[in-house]
Amino acid sequence: MNELAYTTLVDGLRAVHASIEGMRVLGHEHPAVEAKCLAAATLLTRASEGLRSRRNAAGLLHVVSFDGRVACGGVPLPAAAGLASTLFANLSCVGGPALSIASKVEAGDVALLARAVLARDGTLIHATHPVRACQVVSQLAQTGTATSAAPVDPQRAGQTLHSAWESVRSGSHIPMHAVDSLAEQMHAMLRGDASALLHLSALKHHDQYTFVHTVNVSVLSASLAQACGLSDAMVHDIAVGAMLHDVGKGLVPEHILNKRGKLEGTELAVMRRHPLDGARMLIDAGNAPDMAIVIAYEHHMHLNRTGYPLPRQDHFPHLASQIVQVADMYDALRTNRPYRAGMPIEQAREIMFQGAGVSHDKALLDWFFERIAQRCADERDLSDVAANGEASATTGEIASAAATPDVTPEATARPTTAPGL
């Protein structure tokens, strides 16, 4: 799969939308609008060249919107889902909820499309225009059905996350199409199957703890976001952010990351840098979604303005960050580890509610345990990494926040209010 070409295509679609909105505000002759049209044309041309195998017999690349989703040649484009209600809604007024792209697009072609959209006059665009709205919906409907029926492949999930994390650590672009596709697949499972979490239990047999935990946190976060009634686009963004929330741990030395006891002093200070480091790494990657950066930075901030990095007094963590924090702590408590057994749901609930109103929003906890955790009550542990040492324990899930006790080998029998680090 040509990840770069799909990423370029999504960027091109966003540029088309920016061209339309820029023209709406500034007029069609403004230099900034001309620059946006040129950028859109350049990106669409590159994408069409990179996705030659997805063109139809007439040599056209079709991008379609259906049921709040976007796809190209039968391949979902989750990162473009937000354009379904903006760009593609506008295109519906001038031909249909799809975009036909030729092998070569000029700035003037994009400008004419924008003028047609703003005038709501499809007759301005002729049938052979290099970029035009059209009626093509069947491929996405078929894709949506196939996607919702397909289970997440554990090996592919681990490889996708490993590739994404390594890209961030090296300062390279993240393979966002693969990450987006994995998030969309998880979301599709949740839309069509109330027990989608159960399918992911196989991950524990394939991947190291870090990636098992990350996938579980992503699924739990998406489930909670969906239960809260957030839009599909927001659910998707939260799932992606959850996959990338702990990338800053890549800069934590292994002797600290894998320590089985309590972190103190310098070690704890180093560990607590990972949210800030992660946010900076995602920014440096150049193509990380804004929501992922926010989640990476905030996922250890508390409602009472404590946690880390220490928030300003006027700073309140984003709802997405709060959702991921709940999922992160729950999975850490429920997981079997080499030094302790995973906790039953009721014990995890008791511990997490000790932080209600301090670490977590009580209403969010209520919603999580009523709507999400209970779906797992009859299954084996969601992220049951074998306690025989096959996966090393990371302090990331056992150390506590400031002034609270740790979930350490010595403290497994007593309650704790410690969220995962």
Q: What is the pLDDT of residues 57-84, one digit of tens each?
A: 778 898 988 777 888 876 778 888 889 8
Q: Model-level pTM greater than 0.85?
A: no
Residue 419 lies in a domain: no
For residue range 189-220, what is the model confidence (pLDDT) as tens digits?
Answer: 666 544 444 344 444 443 456 777 888 899 89
Q: Which of the two residues, 39 and 399, has the higher pLDDT score?
A: 39
The band of 388, judged by pLDDT with boundaries at 50, 70 and 90, is very low
Euclidean distance between CA atoms 140 and 287, whole angstroms: 25
What domain count does the chain have? 2
Say if 384 falls within a structural domain.
yes
Is pLDDT above 50 for 287? yes
Look at residue 145 and tell me if it is in a domain: no
The whole-angstrom separation of Cα 183 and Cα 234 is 12
Least confident range from 225-229, 247-251, 402-406: namely: 402-406
How far is CA 25 from each of CA 12, 39, 68, 217, rounded to the nearest angstrom? 20, 18, 26, 41
The count of other CB atoms within 10 Å of the CB of residue 341 is 12
Q: Is 114 exposed, middle or buried (0-12, 13-18, 19+ CB in 10 A)?
A: buried
Do 392 and 356 belong to one domain?
A: yes
**345, part of any domain:** yes
93 and 184 share a domain?
no
CB-count exposure of residue 198 (10 Å: 0-12, 13-18, 19+): middle
- Asked, for residue 349, whether it belongs to a domain, the answer is yes
Q: Among 94, 110, 140, give the residue marking a domain's end.
A: 140
Overall average pLDDT of the 167-176 stretch = 83
- Could you give the dihedral angle defined by the CA atoms of residues 157, 163, 168 and 172, in that order, rounded to the nearest 10 degrees? -140
Q: Is 389 in the same domain as 290? A: yes
Give me the residues paired with residue 131 across strands: 101
Per the model's pLDDT, the better-predicted residue between 156 and 4 turns out to be 4
Asked, for residue 369, whether it belongs to a domain, the answer is yes
Domain-terminating residue out of 140, 158, 184: 140
User: 380: burial class by Cβ within 10 Å (0-12, 13-18, 19+)?
Assistant: exposed
Q: What is the C-alpha separation between 291 and 323, in angstroms, rounded?
A: 12
* 420 located within any domain: no
Q: Does residue 93 sit in the same domain as residue 221?
A: no
Domain ranges, residue 27: 3-140
Strands 61-66 and 98-101: antiparallel
Domain identity same for 31 and 72: yes
Give buried/exposed letters for 74-94 (b at 16+ CB in 10 A, else e). Answer: ebbbbbbbbbbeebbebbebb
- The mean pLDDT of the chain is 78
- Whether 9 and 99 map to the same domain: the answer is yes
Q: Does 67 share its domain with 120?
A: yes
**Does one domain contain both 190 and 269?**
yes
Q: Do the domain assignments include residue 359?
A: yes
Percent of the chain at pLDDT > 90 equals: 34
**310 and 362 share one domain:** yes
Q: Are residues 69 and 174 in the same domain?
A: no
Q: Tell whether 108 and 185 lie within a shared domain.
A: no
Interatomic CA distance for residues 255 and 118, integer angstroms: 59
Average pLDDT over residues 156-184: 82
Q: Which of 140, 166, 184 is the last residue of a domain?
A: 140
User: 297 and 373 in one domain?
Assistant: yes
Q: Which residue has the higher pLDDT, 230 or 29?
A: 29
Helix (H/G/I), strand (E/B), else coil: 408 = coil
- CATH number, domain of 234, equals 1.10.3210.10
